[in-house]
Chain A
Amino acid sequence: EDQVTQSPEALRLQEGESSSLNCSYTVSGLRGLFWYRQDPGKGPEFLFTLYSAGEEKEKERLKATLTKKESFLHITAPKPEDSATYLCAVQAASGGSYIPTFGRGTSLIVHP
């Protein structure tokens, strides 16, 4: 069974204090790993898709990396507007089933 574990569950940072969020996964052949940002009461907003170990993607203050067992979302010099819940999801390549498995998310609060 595919599993996704995100840590920490919650993270409080001061503005400008860089940190990383972790997404550990077990899946029978990774087809894709997705990062989303979700603000309270809203739908998840797509950030990145990673497909293979060693791949990296960047967007403004965010950088996502992927290994064979985990992914990191690095936040450099965060601002209060980066406060949100960050969700990770994986999709397996085997079985012909397209059902992404989501982690429970990391709730990030950035204080000014």
Chain B
Amino acid sequence: KAGVTQTPRYLIKTRGQQVTLSCSPISGHRSVSWYQQTPGQGLQFLFEYFSETQRNKGNFPGRFSGRQFSNSRSEMNVSTLELGDSALYLCASSGGASSGETQYFGPGTRLLVL
């Protein structure tokens, strides 16, 4: 069974630009969560999508947004990039039928903002 895939794996952007990251969950999984990981803050929850609806949201500004498609694939968008947005962005999928299911992570997208 294929794991969670994320594209692109690496990205370099400049301040003020916007970026879109993509995540394909494990086949059959309906929940997709996004995390930001930095050395200073560790893993921080961004949001979770289930059946094309945002089910939970972390404490990030509105510049961070996401969506989920009918095939459970998800995208995350960051507008007006800031230097502090440089991080590893991780996507995790789970069955999603009920809360508490184990999340499986993708390899991440490394974003560098210059």
Please give the residue numbers on chain A whose beta carbons come within 8 Å of chain B beta carbons, in ascending order. 31-32, 34, 36, 41-46, 49, 87, 89, 91, 93, 96-100, 102-105
Across the interface, do A99 and B45 meet the contact criterion of CB distance under 8 Å?
yes
Chain A min CB distance to B16 (Å): 27
Chain B min CB distance to A33 (Å): 11
Give which listed residue, B42, B92, B99, B108, contacts A42 with CB less than 8 A: B108
Range of interface residues on chain B? 20 to 34
Across the interface, do A98 and B105 meet the contact criterion of CB distance under 8 Å?
no
Give which listed residue, A34, A41, A43, A98, contacts B99 with CB less than 8 A: A98
A91: chain B residues within 8 A (beta carbon): 99-100
B110 on interface, CB distance cutoff 8 Å: yes
Across the interface, do A87 and B43 meet the contact criterion of CB distance under 8 Å?
yes
A-B CB proximity, top 6 nearest: A98-B99, A43-B105, A102-B43, A31-B100, A44-B105, A104-B42
Across the interface, do B108 and A100 meet the contact criterion of CB distance under 8 Å?
no
B90-114 at interface with A (beta carbon < 8 Å)? 90, 92, 99-100, 102-108, 110
User: Looking at A91, A99, A105, which has the most chain B CB atoms within 10 Å of its CB?
Assistant: A99
B63 on interface, CB distance cutoff 8 Å: no
B4: chain A residues within 8 A (beta carbon): 43
Residue of B with least CB distance to A6: B42
Q: A38 vs B48: C-alpha distance in the bound complex, in angstroms?
A: 21
B106: chain A residues within 8 A (beta carbon): 43
